[in-house]
Structure 1
Amino acid sequence: MDGSTVSDVTLERLHEIAAAFARRDVGGIVAAFAEDGEFRNARGPHYWGESFKGKAAIRGYFERLFSASGDVTWRHTAEFIHGDRAVTEWHRTATLASGERQEWLGCDLYTFRRGLIVMKDTYVKVVI
Structure 2
Amino acid sequence: MKRFGELWSARDLDGCMECLSDDAVYAAAIGPEPGMTYVGKPAIRAKLAEIFADTTISPLQCGRLFPQGEVGLMEWSIDKRMPDGATRTIRGLDLYEFRDSLITLKDSYRKTF
Same fold (TM > 0.5): yes
What is the TM-score of this pair, normalised by structure 1?
0.79
Distance 1:26 1:100 in 2: 28
**Identical counterparts, % of pairs:** 27
Instruction: Say which is worse superposed, 96-105 or 112-121, in terms of deviation.
Output: 96-105
**CA shift at 1:19, angstroms?**
1.4
> CA separation in 2, counterparts of 1:67 and 1:84?
31
Task: After the TM superposition, list the runs of 4 or more consecutive aligned residues in structure 1 that deviate by more than 2 angstroms.
Answer: 68-72, 94-103
SS at match of 1:126: coil
Q: 1:111 to 1:29 in 2, by over 3 A?
A: same
Q: Tell me the secondary structure at the aligned position of residue 11 of structure 2.
A: coil
Deviations 1:53-92, CA, capped at 9 Å, x for gaps: 1111111001111222265322122111112000000111
TM-score calculated relative to the size of structure 2: 0.88
The 1:15–1:35 alpha-carbon spacing in structure 2 relative to 1, beyond 3 Å, is: same
Which of structures 1 and 2 has the bigger CA Rg? 1
Q: Are 1:60 and 2:41 matched, yes or no?
A: no
RMSD: 2.0
SS of the aligned residue for 1:63 comes to helix
What residue identity is the alignment partner of 1:109? L
Equivalent in the alignment of 1:29: 16
For 1:89-119, what per-residue CA distance to the aligned partner results, in whole angstroms no more than 9, with x for missing partners?
A: 0111234799574421101000000111111
Gap regions ≥5 residues in structure 1: 1-13
Aligned residues: 113
Moved more, 69-78 or 56-65: 69-78
Q: Secondary structure at the match of 1:44?
A: coil
* Structure 2, unaligned runs of 5 or more: none
